[in-house]
Amino acid sequence: MNFDERRPIDILETIGEIIEAAREENNLLKLEESIDILSTLIDNARFNQREIGILNYFLANVWSYIQRIKFPDEEFPLETPELEKQIIHLRIANRLLKDTNDNFKKCQIQTNLGNLFSHIGRFSEAQEYFNQCLEIDQNFEMAIGNRGFGLYYYARVVFDATQQFIFMQYARKDLLNAIASNQVYNEAKYAFAGMVKQIESAYPLKELNDFKKYKDFYKKLDKKEINYKKWSAENKLFINPLNDILTESVVAHDYLFIPTMILKSDDKLFFHSMFNQLKQEFVSVRFLFYESVNSPKPHFSDKEVVLMDTLDYSDYSFTLEKIKIAFRVCYSIFDKISYFINIYLNLGLDKNRVSFRTVWYNNLDKNKGLNTKLLTTKNWAMRGLFWLSKDLHEKEFDTTIDPDAKEIATIRNFIEHKSFKIINSFNETWTKKTETFEIDRQLFYDKTFKLLKLSRSALMYLSFLVYDEERKKSIEQSNELTIPVNFLKIKDADKI
């Protein structure tokens, strides 16, 4: 197909028509051919950034159509290249269209990402995509309806009955808003209506319509603590499922933990102790990051520290070291989670070699296939953790589903082992020097914040994973001698 003499806008229209025609015909061959066409067009210098973003959006759609043909009953395997390709191309499109005024396309992309993330078990992050869409257009009804859809399924893994009910309230509210819209197509309305009926059959209508007004839990706190808690809640950084719905003071605490367990009489409280460690590390670097981005003046510890100005616009300070600490600790949390999973699920993998990318595979080797326990699991949060691991780069894996993953891994390597520099003014000639990794200050903030959000999600999914596994254990019969382990809370006054 020759597009050489046609305008980019006309090419986009034509290729869009070709793709939709192939979808309507369920023509797998034509869809596969369109992948080659799109891949060629993406590399064509005639297209600008926005147009390349739309081409990536088209590619994601093609992969979704191929998936539907291959798996018509919607029961997809845990891992398929079609799912990976959709996420990769939607994320690329999202990044390329970010600074454009094409709000409708941006909303479509973020809604599709929300649906995909909900499907693969990354249900907390799915809500973020829906909310980002609605920040652009608060009346984008498909995002509202799908957010409600996602909240309904999210509620099913929430173990606390009160929180689960609140999730159902907000799910129903979104679903009803979408049903009343003229923007939502009939098939979606039918699905949304069916879900509303399920919710209304489980709870009285009077209670579902009663959205509580929560008291202000900040009143007795000092201003510094209030500011920190507000920032954490608004950025949805509390390890608390309700923080994915609300930002009021009622959610401003790290509520989520792992459940009480039935253990053998000679077992130690390893899992609870390790979750303590992971949670404490996270909340500590959350505060370090908050302090750093809200630091108005130099710290006294930097006074009279003699440093040479090397005339390369580089910055050095205690403030920046705190952000680097946050970056390193957040990254380390992922491998510690894999260590936890290996022991908890009795995978029998080498404890000295296990990593977050490899823990899911037989003998830590992706070429030997996924572990049977993962392949057969119905644990949605376990699937979510598996897919979250695909956001990280390791040299043994040639692909990730996050286009920024390799750079983030490189940053970690340079911070830990090599020369790393934060600069205030970007200088291309310096970045060509391979001895040092240079990064713009704001860009490093953004990447650290991204890791902070990702590690928060990972800890949430780990907690839900354990809750689901323990629920299954509790209904299984066992003749082994066991003892119940009750939850004893450490007092705040003892955290010195």
| pLDDT at res. 485 | 58
Higher model confidence: residue 175 or residue 475?
175
Q: What is the pLDDT of residues 10-33, one digit of tens each?
A: 888 988 999 999 999 999 999 999
pLDDT tens, 85-114? 999 999 999 999 999 999 999 999 999 999
**154 pLDDT more than 50:** yes
pLDDT of 481 above 50: no
CA 74 to chain centre: 23
CB 273 within 8 A of CB 261: no
Q: pLDDT (tens digit, 9 = 90+) per residue, 383-439?
A: 999 999 999 999 888 789 999 999 999 999 999 999 999 988 666 655 566 788 999
In this structure, of 266-280, 371-385, 430-444, the range with the lowest mean pLDDT score is 430-444
What's the CA gap between 334 and 278, in Å, rounded? Answer: 10
**3-state class (DSSP) for residue 251:** helix
Long-range Cβ contact pairs of 31-39 (< 8 A, separation 24 or more): 31/62, 31/65, 31/66, 31/69, 32/66, 34/58, 34/62, 35/59, 35/62, 35/63, 37/1, 38/62
Mean pLDDT of 244-269: 86
pLDDT at 451 (0 to 100): 97
pLDDT mean across residues, the chain = 90
Among 244, 254, 328, residue whose Cα is nearest residue 285? 328
How does residue 250 score in pLDDT terms, banded at 50, 70 and 90?
A: very high
What pLDDT shows up at residue 426?
61
What was the pLDDT predicted at 496? 61
pLDDT surpassing 70 at residue 484: no
Which pLDDT score is estimated for 111?
Answer: 97
pLDDT of residue 269: 84
Strand order in 314-315's β-sheet?
314-315, 419-423, 436-440
Q: Are 244 and 124 in contact (CB under 8 A)?
A: yes
pLDDT at 259: 87
Calpha distance 274→132 (Å, rounded): 33
Q: What is the DSSP letter of 100?
A: S
Q: Give me the domains of the chain, ranges plus CATH numbers.
A: 8-208 (1.25.40.10), 215-252 (no CATH), 256-494 (no CATH)
Report pLDDT digits (tens) over 460-470. 999 999 999 98
For range 352-370, the mean pLDDT: 92
Residue 37 and residue 385: Cα distance in Å, rounded?
A: 34
pLDDT the model gives residue 360: 95
Residue 236 banded pLDDT, cuts 50, 70, 90: very high
Residue 477 pLDDT > 90:
no
Q: Which residue has the tokens 């454009």?
A: 100
Q: Does residue 320 contact residue 295 with C-beta atoms inside 8 Å?
A: no
User: CB of 37 within 8 A of CB of 31?
Assistant: no
Q: Taking the CA of residue 251 as centre, how many other CA atoms within 13 Å lie in the half-sphere pointing to its CB?
A: 23
Cβ neighbours of residue 1 closer than 8 Å, sequence gap 6 or more: 37
Residue 302 scores a pLDDT above 60: yes
Quote the CA–CA distance of 115 and 143 in Å, as a whole number: 9
pTM as predicted: 0.93
Torsion on CA atoms 106, 110, 112, 113, rounded to nearest 10: 140
